[in-house]
Amino acid sequence: MKCVINRRAKFSASHRYWLPELSEAENADRFGPCMQFPGHGHNYTLYVSMLGDLDANGMVLNLSDVKHVIKHEVTGQLDFSYLNEVWEDFQQTLPTTENLARVIWNRLSPHLPVVDIKLIENENLWAEYQGNAMEAYLTVSTHFSAAHRLAHYDLTFEENSAIYGKCARINGHGHNYHVDVTVMGEIHPRTGMVVDLVALQNTIDSLIIEPMDHSFLNKDVPYFERVVPTAENIAAYMVKTLRGPIAELGAKLHKIKLYESPNNACEVYASFLQDATEVIREPELAVV
């Protein structure tokens, strides 16, 4: 029987985004505060996922051995280091989160049956790498607060209440939403980035956060005048809204994960929807 096991590890390190072939002004324009000397640091969390068969002892691998390999090959070398100088890999390609995940994969894959590396830089930014050449995933996490009412415009209050329960009440209710935007792309061989992070954040803020934060979705976002703003429909709307602009940045939107509450979340993958120019159709009850 096949099984995926996961091992967590942590390390603290600093890095600087700086390309010597660019002027100080060009570096500042491209990397913002991350270009400042001597750099800045993070408490990284690393998740190593490994695939294998269960042995007679009920294990895929001996976790003590896994711990030793990760420490010897990765965390023991990176902890309290300046990433730009610790490994030769970062002389050519900057130690961004996504490139660091790729290089860690390359360090571990000769020793462990790795299928995924997830590297968390902070609670709002992480990357995943799965061994596909220079392709990586980058996730930006953000939040907004909004109210909504779950009710189809063509149904009576009683009919909506039969479908949506308390969520159909006339005056609506609110949530502190959290949204993870995951993009995928090729790691640039010099900058180490799959996308300009500042441009990506600005796109998310201007197209999603600003219009939705502190709003009543049914009234303030035109799309939801006739589409019920369930978490699923909101996530699908975000996919449709962001997919084109993110493509213009040179990356590809992979998925949106929307947390309506600590107990409820949904994920919509960009591949679930059809081509980027299609308007999401309104089904009979407007539930995706």
Residue-wise pLDDT for 153-174, tens only, equals 999 999 999 999 999 999 999 9
* Percentage of the chain exceeding pLDDT 90: 91
Domains plus CATH for the chain? Answer: 1-131 (3.30.479.10), 133-288 (3.30.479.10)
Confidence of residue 4 (pLDDT cuts 50, 70, 90): very high
112-157 residue pLDDT tens: 999 999 999 999 999 999 999 999 999 999 999 999 999 999 999 9
Say which of 3, 24, 214, 267 is annotated catalytic. Answer: 214
Torsion of CA 143, 94, 188, 125, to 10 degrees: -10
Select which of 98, 121, 128, 260 is catalytic.
260
The pTM assigned to this predicted structure is: 0.92
| 167 included as an active-site residue | yes
Predicted confidence (pLDDT) at residue 274 exceeds the cutoff of 90: no
pLDDT tens digits for range 43-85:
999 999 999 999 998 999 999 999 999 999 999 999 999 999 9
pLDDT score for 163: 96
pLDDT at 276 over 50: no
Structure confidence by residue, pLDDT tens digits, 194-252: 999 999 999 999 999 999 999 999 999 999 999 999 999 999 999 999 999 999 999 99
- Residue 287 above 80 pLDDT? no
- Of 167, 186, 232, 282, which residue is the catalytic one? 167
pLDDT at 28: 93
137 touches 108 (CB < 8 A): no
